[in-house]
Amino acid sequence: MQNIRHLSFTQIENYFSAINEKSFRAKQVYEWLWQKHAHSFDDMTNLSKELRSKLSEAFSLPALKIDTTQYSTDGTIKSRFATVEGFKVEGVLIPTEDRKTACVSSQIGCSLSCKFCATGYIERKRNLNFDEIYDEVVLINKQSEKMYEKKLSNIVFMGMGEPLLNYNNVLKAIEKISAEDGLGMSPRRITVSTAGIAKQIIKLGDDNVRFKLALSLHAANDYKRNEIMPINEANNIKALIDALNYFYKKTENEITFEYILFKNFNDSQKDAEELVKIYRQVPADLINIIEYNPIDNFRFTKPDEATTEQFMSYLEKHRVNTRLRRSRGKDIDAACGQLANKDRF
């Protein structure tokens, strides 16, 4: 049975025409699907019971549901969502005084095996469909409105999975999220984070996307990056620099580097020097220095405050726009790199 949310508005119009229903029914249904967020045909209360029954016989309407929720002492909320067939995937609401950010997932598990990321130790089951990604945002937005009386201000694709390995669904989800007949959110408030797939970054440029791009760098030379991010062996730093420059030339969209500090691995002055060299080769707006959040199976720890401050100071001294991103939701395994579908809810 076909998922009705995978039909275009014109296809829904054609369906109603085929069953001799008035064309305005298509607009009603489309609004229920994308603006009123109906998760069943019974929710569509301005349709007759007979028509709702016809729709349920002709189409399916699978949707993500919240399986369990955890609340951090710092206000962060982590939700585990369940797909219609029972797969689990996590998303996070990160509240600050001036922002309410949804961190969403794009895949169930991940195939990239980054050593510092808990999701990398989970087998990838499948990609999330664009309507499932849309559901994540809708459900997290409802949490934001309920808990903080504010809508989401930002969305980051920094949850489970590699967004550029689910390219079409991620772009279609963002299209729906930013559409006037969807959530109406500006794509400038959406950031897609990638571990670094050069040809897909180039494709983003060719597709003239309007959202921001973040590269998870985490090491400033190929030797170290190969050690913690196997994807680098096929997408080395030079290839990524070239791809990012192409992306910026095509879109002029904001580019950010993400860099997790690991004690005695990538936190020395030499590492900082190499990072500055990369920064100067790309029109990047910012380097986010991220606190490492411990996970099982990974040998590294985070450096002490003095080392972190020295690293930051070196970057600032060399006119690098940088920011230290403090971890949120560590007590519920909701911080960067910790999403793993653990049964700790």
Q: What's the pLDDT at 43?
A: 95
User: Three-state DSSP class for 275?
Assistant: helix
Q: What's the pLDDT at 298?
A: 72
Residue corresponding to tokens 């959406």: 190
User: Three-state DSSP class for 337?
Assistant: coil
pLDDT tens digit sequence for 125-144 = 999 999 999 999 999 999 99
User: Three-state DSSP class for 318?
Assistant: coil
User: Three-state DSSP class for 56?
Assistant: helix
Residue 328: both structure tokens together: 């949120």
The dihedral region occupied by 252, where left means phi > 0, alpha psi between -120 and 50, and beta the remainder, is left
Determine the Cα–Cα distance for residues 34 and 76; give it in Å rounded to an integer. 26
Confidence category of residue 37, pLDDT binned at 50, 70, 90: very high
Over range 307-314, report the average pLDDT: 96
Q: What's the pLDDT at 248?
A: 98
Q: What's the pLDDT at 340?
A: 52
Does pLDDT of 339 surpass 70?
Answer: no
Does pLDDT of 269 surpass 50?
Answer: yes
From the number of C-beta atoms within 10 Å of its C-beta (0-12, 13-18, 19+), residue 297 rates as exposed
Q: Name the β-bridge partners of 90.
A: 80
Does pLDDT of 342 surpass 80?
Answer: no
Over range 172-185, report the average pLDDT: 96
Q: What's the pLDDT at 92?
A: 95
Q: What's the pLDDT at 310?
A: 97
Q: Which of 13, 90, 136, 258 is catalytic?
A: 90
pLDDT tens digit sequence for 71-85 = 998 899 999 999 999
Confidence category of residue 294, pLDDT binned at 50, 70, 90: confident
Q: Name the β-bridge partners of 89.
A: 81
Active site residue 336: yes
Confidence category of residue 122, pLDDT binned at 50, 70, 90: confident
Active site residue 50: no
Q: What's the pLDDT at 116?
A: 85
Percentage with pLDDT > 70 across the chain? 94
Q: Which of 110, 114, 117, 336 is catalytic?
A: 336
Domains in the chain and their CATH numbers? 2-60 (1.10.150.530), 65-332 (3.20.20.70)
Q: If you count them, how many residues does the chain have?
A: 345
Q: What's the pLDDT at 345?
A: 39
pLDDT tens digit sequence for 205-262 = 999 999 999 999 999 999 999 999 999 999 999 999 999 999 999 999 999 999 999 9
What DSSP state is assigned to residue 44?
A: -
Q: What's the pLDDT at 336?
A: 56
Does pLDDT of 152 surpass 50?
Answer: yes
Identify which of 124, 145, 143, 141 has the alpha carbon closest to the alpha carbon of residue 133.
Answer: 141
Q: What's the pLDDT at 300?
A: 84
